[in-house]
Structure 1
Amino acid sequence: MTDSFVHPYIPNTAPATKQAMLDAVGAASIEEFYADVPAELRLGRALELPAPLVAEQDLARHVRGLLAKNRSTDERLSFLGHGTYHHYVPAVVDEVINRSEFLTAYAGEPYEDHGRFQALFQYQSLMAELLAMDVVNVPTYDGYQATATGLAMAGRITGRRRVLVVSDVLPAKHSKVLDFVRVHLDLEIVPTVNGTADVAGLASRLGDDVAAVWVETPSVTGAVEASLAAIADAAHAVGAILVVGTDPIGYGVLTPPAEQGADIVCGDIQSLGLHQWYGGAHGGFIAVADDPTFIMEMPSRLFGLATTDVPGEVGFGDVAYERTSFALREEGKEWVGTAAALWGIAAGVYLALMGPQGMRELGELLLARTRYAQQRLAAIPGVVLGDDALHLREFTIDVSGAGLTAAGVVEALRRDGIEPGVPLDAHTLAVCVTELTSQADIDRLAAAIGALAEASTATTTQETRA
């Protein structure tokens, strides 16, 4: 785009108007606004866009051609996870969230939108029961934001800066959380041991300047933290807050973090009735106890029951509205931002349909399938598991002993319609299974990797003889 170009639909692209805006903010050029974006992430050229398409049918054909290049995990055997998961979405979930009163209701107030507010109140209540917490917010944009907000809350409550990260965190999540909190908090990584937190290493770093201890369970590799209670005791002994980032899918069978001493529990609801959708429908949750110290630091909306002027009738509306940026504007602790309210309704429908027994059975199935996959893959000569921790849904394998590379396994198996996992380094592959992964699917993956290992061994043997 040149300085003389004027977009037909955006009049502010006119050179004189652009210059007036630059003068108003004291910037010499638009480039100054992108100073924080690393040079290697900038495109440095114009977008490769097609020539303007005159007819609508031509545009539709062009877009269909782009979409046809995608392949969903319903078309291929997928063992991909790493933050977005292929769980079953009951038909009733899609049916409810496609109703017009939910699908189109981005915002709205209690006097005009009773159904949506009640649905979100029910979602909050179901999540609170699953997590053994008292208060759960309306979903934030995603789990990354929810975790960043949880840590920021801890910083405001304690007035401290240091945050000790004791789990292996998804790199993209760590990066986004750091972007969010770096002005106010310093993140320090405490290396893990055998996939989970090093409690002794944590204890040696704790002090009265620590705002929070951040635990991810399951971790990026699917490891379930076994020492939450000890971590909570150590953190609380120095006045720090325990913030636990988690996926709620396993708490029909696992002990919730709140019952092990967690002060703030946060994460993503994508696994609760939300499709993958080429990147996922994501929404973040923050859960705390019924304690004003924590509740009044939550920036996002809360919906609760309220009495009305009509005896015997109740309504649904904002709780402690005065703490939000809607009420405080620029004095707010954080901006409320975009809420993923529709996904909250979807998760609420999913939880209501599953019930306690359904969530328990699902959790047991995920644990069993994960363990079966670990055993089958570890039985391949030269393939070893990444650690000995309890895993839910995801785990890692090292294929170096089989003469393979992670990228090589992915490239070879893709030709057979299998997505075997996510390479974490040259020889480590992260493998994910869900309730949609059958025993036969796991056996097929094991056979495919086993054949690669056998071929690699044979090639090595021939080269040695030669």
Structure 2
Amino acid sequence: MTKPFVHPYLPNTAPESRQAMLEAVGAADVEEFYADIPADLRLGRALDLPEPLVAEQDLTRHVGGLLRRNRPLEPGRSFLGAGTYHHTVPAVVDEVINRSEFLTAYAGEPYEDHGRFQALFQYQSLMGELLNQDVVNVPTYDGYQAAATSVAMSGRITGRRRVLLVSDAHPDKLSKVLDFVAPTIDLELVPTVDGIADIAAVAARIDDETAAVWVETPSFTGALETAIAELAEAAHAVGALLIVGTDPIGLGVLTPPADLGADIVHGDIQSLGLHPWFGGAHAGFIAVHDDPRLVMELPSRLFGLASTDVAGEYGFGDVAYDRTSFALREEGKEWVGTAAALWGIAAGVYLSLMGPQGMAELGETLLARTAYAARALSALPGVRLADSAVHLREFVVDLTDARLTAPELVTVLRADGFEPGVVVGENHLLVCVTEQNTQSDIDDLTGAFGAALDNTASKENVA
């Protein structure tokens, strides 16, 4: 800073305090702390920021103005997905997770925090039943981290580096995984055919150097993989693992990947009782069989049930704590940092409210409405589906033969109050349908689609 500024909200901004801290650590200047950052990455000047707001009422007005620029998501007119979804959240979910004993419980230990540990143990148990897996971790930071950790685990377990990704993964997820596993894993992409895995291509590329085959079902485009069992058989034949990324929202009606041969199942629990707040509340899960070879490579915390010194009394605490970086520090397999434990409690409440029958009805609804929307939109002139796979919740419409590009169509429909989907290419739009989108809502979207294309055609004829 060119001139000292003592901020009323931030401690240690007074020059005397800053100087005392520098002297305490033996530094001549703050710049010494950034010596490891290359000079070409430094800004070299003060940030171009407005003057600080020092009065609380001015700050409140400023933040309020920013918040008013946000538009609320209208469930019936929004068809956005691509990783963050607008599913129904029962009111009791928010009521429970806003209780102070959960909302403020960041850390804690078994001897002082039985309530949170018990709630997370129950979440893990409910997820285990839904996934038909024995062991489920305390949520990771998000689903991307769960995917990256799952892939890294396969390398540690098999002692191999090569992993084949055989599905269309979310681009952002793939970017995160590539960054995370780059030192230990060589990730190879096997192109899909008609939206799902190319079994022949996978069989030709898998060998005894392969650590794992990675499948996403539903994929980024919502396609459901039909050959998980065949992929598991091919992977296991060469000593590799099958990793499956999935969204648990459909598992009330779909066969769990574990039943088809998956060794590691991962995903995000945002769909299970978490709102799509500004990009979503996200948390990742990893599920494995009760196999020490798999369990001991899980870097994140596991909560289990244990007996106490009192006969018939039980408590809840860490399982196999000695495998975590909390115990091993720099020798840990991976770093265990901030978890999304509160979202795990939310998902646990959601699953307990839904029950098996509720999850089955929800899955059937999603499949039916997705199919209905896909048929309705692809019946419009110039609109067709990008593939013929079975889809859950999302699908891609191809607008190559339409009179509007995907960005142009979004602009037109947004002005009419719709969010019709996510642009995934100049002529491709990813459309998402949840239980929040009724048949009437889908009909309204189809009508708006058709009107936008017809109006464009009319303007061209007039011209």
TM-score (norm 2): 0.93
Partner SS state of residue 163, structure 2: strand
Q: Deviations over 1:244-287 (max 9, x none)?
A: 11110000000010011110000100000000011111000000
Instruction: Indicate the larger mover: 228-237 or 7-16.
Output: 7-16
The answer to whether structure 1 residue 260 and structure 2 residue 236 are counterparts is no
- What residue identity is the alignment partner of 2:159? G
Partner SS state of residue 423, structure 1: strand
Distance 1:386 1:43 in 2: 44
The answer to whether structure 1 residue 236 and structure 2 residue 236 are counterparts is yes
Number of residue equivalences: 454
Q: Deviations over 1:325-368 (max 9, x none)?
A: 11111100001111100000000000000000000000000001
What is the match of residue 222 of structure 2?
Answer: 222
**Is the contact made by 1:151 and 1:243 (CA closer than 8 Å) also made in structure 2?**
yes
User: What is the 5 A alignment of 1:152-191?
Assistant: 152-191=152-191
The answer to whether structure 1 residue 342 and structure 2 residue 339 are counterparts is no
- What residue identity is the alignment partner of 2:425? D
Distance 1:456 1:58 in 2: 47
Partner SS state of residue 418, structure 1: coil
- What residue identity is the alignment partner of 1:205? R
Distance 2:45 2:270 in 1: 35
1:209 deviation in Å?
1.1
1:49 deviation in Å?
3.6
What is the match of residue 405 of structure 1?
Answer: 405
1:13 deviation in Å?
7.0
The answer to whether structure 1 residue 94 and structure 2 residue 79 are counterparts is no
**Is the contact made by 2:75 and 2:437 (CA closer than 8 Å) also made in structure 1?**
no
User: What is the 5 A alignment of 1:243-392?
Assistant: 243-392=243-392
1:459 deviation in Å?
3.6
**Is the contact made by 1:6 and 1:13 (CA closer than 8 Å) also made in structure 2?**
no
What is the match of residue 39 of structure 1?
Answer: none
Instruction: Indicate the larger mover: 54-63 or 264-273.
Output: 54-63
**Is the contact made by 1:22 and 1:29 (CA closer than 8 Å) also made in structure 2?**
no
Distance 1:159 1:13 in 2: 49
Change (3 A) 1:352 1:422: same
- What residue identity is the alignment partner of 2:165? V
1:22 deviation in Å?
6.6
Change (3 A) 1:391 1:156: same
Q: Deviations over 1:76-100 (max 9, x none)?
A: 7211000100001000000000011
Distance 2:203 2:30 in 1: 52
The answer to whether structure 1 residue 450 and structure 2 residue 453 are counterparts is no
1:457 deviation in Å?
2.7
**Is the contact made by 2:217 and 2:245 (CA closer than 8 Å) also made in structure 1?**
yes
Partner SS state of residue 388, structure 2: coil
Distance 1:452 1:326 in 2: 57
Alignment gaps of 5+ in structure 2: none
Partner SS state of residue 401, structure 2: helix
Percent of pairs with identical residues: 68
Alignment gaps of 5+ in structure 1: 36-41
Change (3 A) 1:320 1:411: same
Distance 1:48 1:72 in 2: 31
Change (3 A) 1:43 1:206: farther
User: What is the 5 A alignment of 1:413-432?
Assistant: 413-432=413-432
- What residue identity is the alignment partner of 2:96? V
Distance 2:326 2:156 in 1: 19
Q: Deviations over 1:151-200 (max 9, x none)?
A: 11000011111111111111111111111111111111100000011111
Distance 2:210 2:397 in 1: 34
1:400 deviation in Å?
2.3
Distance 1:153 1:206 in 2: 18
1:75 deviation in Å?
7.4
Distance 2:224 2:44 in 1: 43
1:452 deviation in Å?
1.5
